[in-house]
Amino acid sequence: MTQQGETPGPTVLMVEGDVMIRLVVAAYLRECGFKVIEASSADEAVIVLKADGKVAIDVAFVDIDAAGGLDGFGLSQWIRRERAGIKIILASGAHRTAKEAGHLCEHGPTIKKPYDHKDLERQIRQILAR
């Protein structure tokens, strides 16, 4: 929790359908000082992003296999088109998919599952520092 007068950290939109993974990773990122908004699907993420006037999102951490009308690729394309200032990190369980996704996240990397929470934190901080 942020102390009075303290500025909250960067905001991460985490799009992950597996509730256990989402809860654990989101809790870890919060402990690292990030504000985390959770979405269980790409459709839910778009709703959050359309209401972005209330919360400025700095990074979208998106599972390529995100459920909904859009998958993680489609969501990443939507973000690049509609919210170009948001940096994207894509997560994939398949190495080939992660490599092919590189063109969708020019501002950031792809990360292969299973990923280490500390590696994810480091990648978020690196992408924000650019």
Per-residue pLDDT at 13 exceeds 90: yes
Model confidence at 5, pLDDT cuts 50, 70, 90, reads very low
Residue 130 structure tokens? 């650019």
- CA–CA gap between residue 8 and residue 102 (Å, rounded): 30
At residue 61, what are phi and psi to the nearest 5 degrees?
-105, 105
Residue 54's pLDDT is 65
- CA–CA gap between residue 41 and residue 103 (Å, rounded): 22
Mean pLDDT lowest for which of 1-10, 55-64, 100-109?
Answer: 100-109
- CA–CA gap between residue 104 and residue 122 (Å, rounded): 20
H-run or E-run covering 59: strand 59-63
DSSP string, 13-26: EEE-S-HHHHHHHH
Q: Which CATH architecture has domain 11-129?
A: 3-Layer(aba) Sandwich (3.40)
Of 68, 47, 49, 69, give the one whose Cα is nearest residue 58: 49
In the chain, where the domains are located: 11-129
Residues 6+ apart with CB under 8 A from 26: 14, 36, 38
- CA–CA gap between residue 128 and residue 130 (Å, rounded): 5
Q: What is the pLDDT of residues 65-97, one digit of tens each?
A: 888 888 888 899 899 899 989 999 988 765 545
Model confidence at 7, pLDDT cuts 50, 70, 90, reads low
pTM of the model: 0.81
